[in-house]
Amino acid sequence: MSTSAQEEAQHTLPDDIYQILPGTQFVLETKSYPERFATRFIGGLRGQYFLCKTPSIAEYPTALERLYKGEELIVRFLSRGKAWAFASKVLGRIAKPQPLLFLEFPKAVDSYNLRSSKRIVCYFPVTALINGASPDGVILDLSETGCRLTAPVSVTDLHIGDQIGIDCPVFKATGKNRIIAKIQRITQANGTPELGLAFEDIHPQIHEEILHYIQHSERISVNRT
């Protein structure tokens, strides 16, 4: 890509793409062998490349085999209340001093508002990790990008933008695989707080399970009408 073409492409990208926070989870989907690998964004050079951690070999034994130089990818992540995706490719990787992966800087990105996701009414028992406490709670509705959760905690201890952890055995989202979400809304129903949450950090396999559940629920709903 020429310098002028590169500059033109940059002008068409939203500002958000230059404001991704270090530590944001990236999910890399390979094209040649459709697999997904979760990793963390580190930084990058504007218009040149994004830099992220090489996915853990312990968690993804095929990572080095699949993420070779030139492999085409779809990169997905959540940021600033939106779900983002862009096409990229592996530019290269290094092993030392830390295993890092260089990705081609996006020429175009797609996004959609998290609030536009359809929510499915449900009743899943969970354990919420909030400010050092771990009360039992319930997920009342669910979408691919967030949920509504109720738990017996004090409203005065909750703030918009706070992060909480969610252990949800139904989706095997427990321990190191628990869901991390950000509080978007706080209401009360019969004296118990209800939290509107946007997922911030979720294991790709758990995300797939949630998508399957939502799609299955939608099919059942259509068949009943």
3 state SS for the chain: CCHHHHHHHHHHCCHHHHCCCCCCEEEEEECCCCCEEEEEEEEEECCCEEEEECCCCCCCCCHHHHCCCCCEEEEEEEECCEEEEEEEEEEEEECCCCCEEEEECCCCCEEEEHHHCCCEEEEEEEEEEECCECCEEEEEEECCCEEEEECCCCHHHCCCCCEEEEEEHHHCECHHHCEEEEEEEEEEECCEEEEEEEEEECCHHHHHHHHHHHHHHHHHHHHHC
Q: For the chain, give the mean pLDDT.
A: 85
**Cα-based torsion angle of the residue sequence 188, 202, 205, 15 in order, rounded to the nearest 10 degrees:** 120
Residue 8 has pLDDT above 50, yes or no: no
**Structure tokens of 64?**
């080095």
Most confident of the following: 11-25, 53-67, 88-102: 88-102
Residue 5 has pLDDT above 70, yes or no: no
- Computed from CA positions of residues 211, 214, 217, 221, in that sequence, does the dihedral angle turn out positive or negative? negative
Residue 110 has pLDDT above 50, yes or no: yes
Instruction: Read off the pLDDT band of 151 (50, 70, 90).
Output: very high
Q: What is the pLDDT of residue 113?
A: 63
Placement of tokens 């092993």 in the chain? 95
The structure's pTM equals 0.59
Closest CA to 52 of 44, 60, 63, 64: 44
Instruction: Read off the pLDDT band of 33 (50, 70, 90).
Output: confident
Would you list the domain boundaries of the chain? 3-113, 117-224
Instruction: Read off the pLDDT band of 75 (50, 70, 90).
Output: very high
Residue 189 has pLDDT above 90, yes or no: no
Residue 223 has pLDDT above 60, yes or no: no
Q: Tell me how far apart the alpha carbons of residues 47 and 33 are, in angstroms, rounded to a whole number.
A: 27
Q: What is the pLDDT of residue 104?
A: 96
CATH 2.30.40.10 fits 3-113, yes or no: no
CA end-to-end span of the chain? 52
> Letter for the amino acid at 49?
Y
Say if 3-113 and 117-224 have the same CATH topology. no
CATH top-level class for 117-224?
mainly beta
Residue 126 has pLDDT above 70, yes or no: yes
